[in-house]
Amino acid sequence: MSNRTINLNDALYQYLIDVSLREHAVLAELRAATLSHPHASMQIAPEQGQFMALLVKMLGARRTLEIGVFTGYSALAVALALPDEGRVVGCDISREYTDVARSYWDRAGVGHKIDLRLAPALETLDALLAQGQEGSFDFAFIDADKTAYDAYYERCLTLLRSGGVIAVDNVLWSGRVIMPGADADTLAIQAFNRKLHHDVRIDLSLVPIGDGLTLARKR
């Protein structure tokens, strides 16, 4: 028995993967291909992708947002969990990274579900708001530049329906959130975490999966 979250050594983590991960073949191929990328650490863990896919199914989501696409693993995991008419609006600024993503989305048969917007994410989110799409999304995933987390969160919260969920990645930041003398990214995450702790507009849980995943349910 334990009254706190268990630490996972390599053997126990592998057991977790062995008994729980149900990874689509194209997801596995994309994850393997991204391992050799210079920024491979930007990709989420497979168990986190599966967890988010389960959330999307539990929410009965139809419309989702993703801030920060990279090579497309998380968007693919979510798109696979959506019904055929479901859509992911993906925000990124890198054509190089997202060209990789598109190829795997198409191979998995879900390319039509993902509406990729190559522009600064705040521009895309503000455009959605200007189009009157407030309250029309079910789920949002934020995993981009950390100093803009608060701005992304506020816009996603407005775009989300009541009962919708925002998932925010890297909120434990490899443990740097408890370190003194923090850099700008760390300071931004620290401030973001403190803000959400007191935000009465949401129900909140910080889940120790991957690099820390905050779940914020809009009341």
pLDDT at 2: 74
CA 49-156-81 angle, to 5 degrees, is: 30
Cross-strand partners of 66: 90, 141
pLDDT at 182: 82
Average pLDDT over residues 122-135: 98
Average pLDDT over residues 185-209: 97
In the predicted structure, residue 121 carries a pLDDT above the cut 80: yes
pLDDT at 40: 86
Give percent of the chain above pLDDT 90.
94
Query: Rounded to the nearest 10 degrees, how much is the dihedral formed by the CA atoms of 145, 148, 150, 155?
Result: -100
pLDDT band at residue 51 using 50, 70 and 90 as cut-offs: very high
Give percent of the chain above pLDDT 70.
100
Number of H helices, E strands in the chain: 8, 7
Cα(78)–Cα(59) distance, rounded to whole angstroms?
12
Chain mean pLDDT for the chain: 96
For the full predicted model, state whether its pTM sits above 0.95: yes
pLDDT at 113: 98
pLDDT at 1: 60
Cα(203)–Cα(218) distance, rounded to whole angstroms?
7
Q: How far is CA 204 from CA 3, 165, 188, in A?
A: 20, 10, 18
pLDDT at 204: 98
CA 110-135-81 angle, to 5 degrees, is: 25
In the predicted structure, residue 82 carries a pLDDT above the cut 80: yes
